[in-house]
């Protein structure tokens, strides 16, 4: 009798799961989209993208989204649509299982603001252009002067500066002369730093850091107008502002 009862229980259990899976599958197909939530993951760092703007843009392009079935939505297509925004690095669209469609966004992270003849824009470490925003200004290096069309060297110099907390706090501007010599403008002090051609930059910055940290008394900084790093393994401090 006990054996027959156990067998009956297993038959009922095994029969229960297909019915429930069928019910869940049917319910999922009929699940109605009741809300669209947009979250910008790194909004505390940058505000190039506004969540409400993206939400309104998606609803305008997908007018049948709210009230339509979740199963009818093409999430890959929606992700591609959102990523057309030039400030958005990545986008994930997913259903919470309750009828709420979620969009989570990550922005490009700028390292330098470029003021060039062809416009003003930000760039990330990979060279992606990020348009300036009327609602947000990123506190990053500014690069101006004779900005070249090919910006690999500029990105290399900017990347070295922002990757080191010491230089990120110290440097404010990169100016490029017509002969492609780089000049760094620090936040503190009245001097300019003549980096020269963007070659051996790591070594030049290492020598400059040694001068900043142990080579000169802070009181002496106002005595000099130019710190010249152009020459190999040399640092020339000059009271003459001419470059």
CATH superfamily of 110-238: Cell division protein FtsQ/DivIB (3.40.50.11690)
Domain boundaries, the chain: 31-107, 110-238
Question: What is the rounded average pLDDT for all residues in the chain?
Answer: 87
Can you tell me the mean pLDDT for 118-123? 95
Ramachandran area for residue 49 (φ above 0: left; ψ -120 to 50: alpha; else beta): beta
Architecture label for domain 31-107:
Roll (3.10)
Q: Say whether 133 sits in a helix, a strand or coil.
A: coil
pLDDT digit string (tens) for 11-55? 444 544 443 333 334 444 579 999 999 999 998 888 999 999 999
The torsion angles phi and psi of 226, rounded to 5 degrees, stand at -135, 135
∠181-186-191 over CA atoms, to 5°? 75
Q: Rounded to two decimals, what is the model's pTM?
A: 0.80
pLDDT digit string (tens) for 181-223? 999 999 987 889 999 999 999 999 999 999 888 877 766 777 8
DSSP state of 108: -
Residue 195 to residues 206, 213, 218, 235, 238, Cα–Cα distance (Å)? 12, 18, 21, 10, 14
């Amino acid at each position: 009798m006990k054996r027959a009862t156990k067998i009956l229980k297993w038959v009922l259990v095994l029969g229960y799961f297909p019915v429930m899976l069928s019910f869940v599958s049917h319910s999922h197909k009929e699940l109605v989209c009741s809300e669209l939530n947009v979250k910008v993951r790194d909004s505390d760092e940058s505000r190039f993208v506004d969540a409400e703007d993206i939400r309104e843009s998606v609803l305008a392009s997908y007018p049948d989204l709210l009230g339509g079935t979740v199963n009818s939505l093409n999430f890959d297509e929606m992700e591609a649509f959102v990523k057309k925004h030039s400030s958005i690095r990545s986008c994930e669209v997913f259903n919470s299982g309750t009828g709420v469609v979620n969009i989570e966004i990550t922005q490009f992270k700028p390292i330098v603001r470029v003021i060039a003849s062809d416009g003003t824009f930000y760039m990330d470490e990979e060279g992606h252009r990020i348009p300036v925003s009327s609602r947000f200004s990123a506190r990053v290096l500014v690069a101006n002067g004779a900005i070249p069309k090919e910006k690999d060297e500029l990105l290399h110099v900017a990347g070295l500066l922002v990757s080191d907390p010491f230089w990120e706090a110290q440097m404010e501007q990169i100016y490029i002369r017509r002969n492609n010599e780089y000049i760094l403008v620090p936040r503190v002090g009245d001097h300019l730093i003549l980096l020269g051609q963007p070659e051996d930059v790591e070594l030049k910055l290492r020598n400059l850091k040694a001068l900043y940290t142990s080579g000169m008394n802070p009181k002496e900084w106002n005595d000099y107008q130019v710190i010249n790093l152009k020459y190999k393994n040399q640092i020339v401090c000059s009271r003459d502002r001419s470059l």
